[in-house]
Amino acid sequence: MTPQTKGTLCGIIAAVSYGTNPLGALYLYQAGLNTDTVLFYRYFLAAIVLMGIMKLQKTSFSITLKEFSVLGGLGILFAISSLTLFSSFHFMDAGVASTLLFVYPIMVAVIMALFFKEKITATTAISIALALGGIAMLYKGDGNEVLSTIGIILVMASSLSYALYIIVVNRSGLRMSAVKLTFYVLLFSIVVIVIHSFTAQSFHLQPLTTPYMWFFAILLALLPTVISLVTMSISVRNIGSTPTAILGALEPLTAVAVGVCVFGEAFTHRLAWGIVLILAGVLLIIAGKSLSLRQLRLMIKQLQRFRLLNHGK
Q: Each residue of 63-80: pLDDT tens digit?
A: 999 999 999 999 999 999
Supply φ then ψ for residue 2, to 5 degrees: -75, 155
Prediction pTM value: 0.82
CA angle, corner 38, sides to 32 and 41, nearest 5?
Answer: 130
Pick 243 or 134 by higher pLDDT.
243
What contacts 109, CB < 8 A, 6 or more positions away? Answer: 118, 120, 124, 128, 242, 245
Element (H, E) at 35: helix 35-56
Q: Band of the pLDDT at 313, cuts 50, 70, 90?
A: very low
Helix axes 178-199, 228-239, angle to 10 degrees: 130
> Does the structure show a pLDDT above 70 at 143?
no
Pick 238 or 105 by higher pLDDT.
238
